[in-house]
Amino acid sequence: MSILIVEPLGRGYSHVPTNSGFIATVVAAFPDDTISFLAEDSHRQLVREHLALRSYSIDDQIQWLDGSVTFNQKLYDQTVWQQRRYSLKTSLDEAQRLDVHTIIFLSLDGIGLIVLKWLLLYQNHRPRILCVMHGVMTKITESRYALKTQLFRYLLIVGNNRMRLKFLVIAPTIYKNSVASFPRLAPFLEWIDHPHLFALRERYVSHSLDSRQIVFGFLGAGTRMKGFDIFEQLSITVPKSTPNDVSAPEFRAIGHSIESTRSQSSLSRTLAESYMPVNEYADEIQRVDYVIFPYAAHHYALRASAAIFDALEHLKPIIAFRIPLFEDYFDRMGNIGYLCDTYEELQGLLIQLTSTKPNEEYLSQQTTIQNSRHIFEPRRLVIDMRRIINSY
């Protein structure tokens, strides 16, 4: 059997950790099969380096296809529809040339999915196709997409599936919410845990809170959807409410800006204007004690977050609102931080942590993270991946 893995959208470092996890999982699930990876050149090289850094040297098990013609051609004068058609058409042509049994698209947006289904109408080569869904399903639940939703739902659920095309989401809560919202999607939908290659155990070591100023961090793109405005508000209100005999906490934004934000003058580190270098990003996370995820349930009912795994990678306890995505992780992993029901509860918790510095519990949470995060490692997801690919 031959499998082609394609990243049609990601450029540079975007999606590198997640895609590396998927590739490692597929290779481990099908060690005797021919597996190829097609992506934009810089992205392909970064994935390859990331796998090697995590001691997954799989060059003898995977073909790294040259994507220079497919993905690097300048398409800036074309519409998004034309760009998606070009990249997906050449991906399908490459799959036919290789005579692959299965294609895995690691990311698709709504336009890409519609274009893919249209292209499949004219394809003689009919491999199994698995599409990893990231934020697409969230958009069709928003009211401003109401007029487009009916067409998109039809194309997503019914249009030209023929049981050759399935969708994959990367959390059990997303699967449950998707099926509850669109019951007719169930025959075409699968789920797997978010695959992640964690660094070697000794690379990121735990530390205590003793005699230290508490540092709270925010990871990833600074958008309202991710609750960055809430993080900014906390950086203003919490220091003002901290007892006078206690050092006020630091708030550090570790990521990049996409939307216009406030002055961020209350933050000891502000958002970068673009993606941070990988090493700088890792070093900054190491300076943080807790990572805050002020995500709202309606934004993350059908969406996962790779930033969560950056926190787990660095053994940082999580502070988040009590939404299904985090409740599931806490239920399966144990005490890896704190869940709050309201903004007031979240603010009170930060003040309490700043004042008490619960060192024993902090070290226990780090140990729990280290001992339980293996559920997301590729070797633990092999059976699920094999079942999904063989379920057609």
pLDDT digit string (tens) for the chain, length 392 residues = 799 999 988 777 888 999 999 999 999 999 999 999 999 888 999 999 999 888 887 878 899 987 654 555 555 556 888 888 888 998 999 999 999 999 999 988 878 888 888 888 887 778 899 999 877 666 555 544 444 555 556 555 555 555 588 889 999 999 999 888 878 788 888 999 999 999 865 556 667 787 678 999 999 888 888 899 999 999 999 998 888 878 889 999 998 877 655 555 667 667 767 778 888 888 999 999 999 999 988 888 888 899 999 999 999 999 999 999 999 999 999 999 999 999 999 999 999 999 999 999 999 999 999 999 999 999 999 999 999 999 87
* The predicted structure's pLDDT at residue 230: 94
Alpha helices per DSSP H over 13-143: 16-29, 41-53, 68-71, 80-98, 110-120, 136-139
Class of the 215-375 domain?
alpha beta
pLDDT for 262:
56
Cα dihedral 64/2/198/168 (nearest 10): 120
Alpha helices in 164-313 (DSSP H): 172-181, 228-241, 278-286, 307-313
Burial 32-65 (b: 16+ CB within 10 A, else e): ebbbbbbbbbbbbebbbebbeebebebeebbeeb
What is the structure's pLDDT at 317? 97
Same fold, 2-197+377-389 and 215-375: yes
Take residue 191 and report the two structure tokens written for it.
Answer: 């789920």
Beta bridge partners of 167: 131, 189
Phi-psi region of 242 (alpha: psi -120 to 50; beta: other; left: phi over 0): beta
**What is d(CA 162, CA 280) in angstroms, rounded to the nearest whole number?**
46
**pLDDT at position 100, please?**
94
Strand order in the sheet with 128-132: 62-64, 34-38, 2-6, 102-105, 128-132, 165-169, 189-191
Where along the chain do its domains lie?
Answer: 2-197+377-389, 215-375
Structure pTM? Answer: 0.89
Residue 168 host element (H or E): strand 165-169
- CA distance linking residue 253 with residue 266, whole number of Å: 11
Fold of 2-197+377-389: Rossmann fold (3.40.50)
**HSE toward the beta carbon, residue 23, CA cutoff 13 A:** 33
Please tell me the distance from the alpha carbon of residue 389 to that of residue 392, in angstroms, as a whole number.
Answer: 7
- Taking a C-beta distance cutoff of 8 angstroms, is the pair 95, 103 a contact? yes
